[in-house]
Amino acid sequence: MMTKNQNNGREQLEMLTIEQLVPLDHLVRKLDATIDFSFIYPLVEDLYSTIGRPSIDPVVLIKMTFIQYTLGIRSMDQTIKDIGTNVAYRWFLGLGFHTKVLRFSTFGKNYVRRFADTDLFEQIFNKVLNEVTNRGLLSPDHVFIDSTHVKASANKRKFEKRVVRKETNGRVFTDAKEKHGLRWTTH
């Protein structure tokens, strides 16, 4: 016997908190329990004025990028749309049911005006990497490298050879731009 849903629960009134709606095993809960994002405030303090209108919380901006990259969302525009409807993302950002999610243009302007030409993201990445390593959540046994396809600059007339030294976590990388692309060597 086929049954139709006779009770429309869309308008049912409930007394719930966002806390109750986010599953205990959700990834955002694990991130929140593992990483204390308050270390970001001293890093960005000099990038904000002491006068004027209140700004968007910089931790919220960084956590939004965390949501995008950790959960594999294709763009920040899509991430912002998802935050509007995903209770777990709202919980992670500390937003209530009725809190408006910022617009993509506001997000972009904050990044361009405040964080461009800084090493803020590298500092945050290193801090998070150290934190998860210290908690035993990162194993050096496996390494994954992004294999994004990039159009090669193979014009012989625009050939330029340069060596740039980069150092991160005690390892030195030499970036030698050659005729056929980039070569990375570990020293």
Q: What tens digit of pLDDT does each residue of 119-165 get?
A: 888 888 888 888 888 887 777 676 666 666 666 666 666 666 666 55
In a domain, 183, yes or no: yes
Note whether 28 and 92 are same-domain residues.
Answer: yes
Note whether 36 and 115 are same-domain residues.
Answer: yes
Res. 8 pLDDT band, cuts 50 70 90 = confident
Reduced to 3 DSSP states, what percent helix, strand and coil does the chain have, rounded to the nearest 5? 45, 10, 45
Please give the average per-residue pLDDT across 40-57, as a whole number.
84
Give the per-residue pLDDT at 110. 79
Number of separate domains in the chain: 2
With pLDDT > 90 as the criterion, what percentage of the chain qualifies? 25
Give the per-residue pLDDT at 63. 93
Domain containing 32 equals 16-137
Contact 90, 83 (CB under 8 A): yes
Note whether 100 and 183 are same-domain residues.
Answer: no
In a domain, 167, yes or no: yes
Give residues with Cβ within 8 angstroms of 69, minimum separation 6: none
Among residues 123, 13, 14, 5, the alpha carbon closest in space to that of 58 is found at: 123
Give the per-residue pLDDT at 146. 64
In a domain, 10, yes or no: no
Q: What is the SS3 assignment for 22? A: coil
In a domain, 63, yes or no: yes
Would the pTM count as exceeding 0.75? no
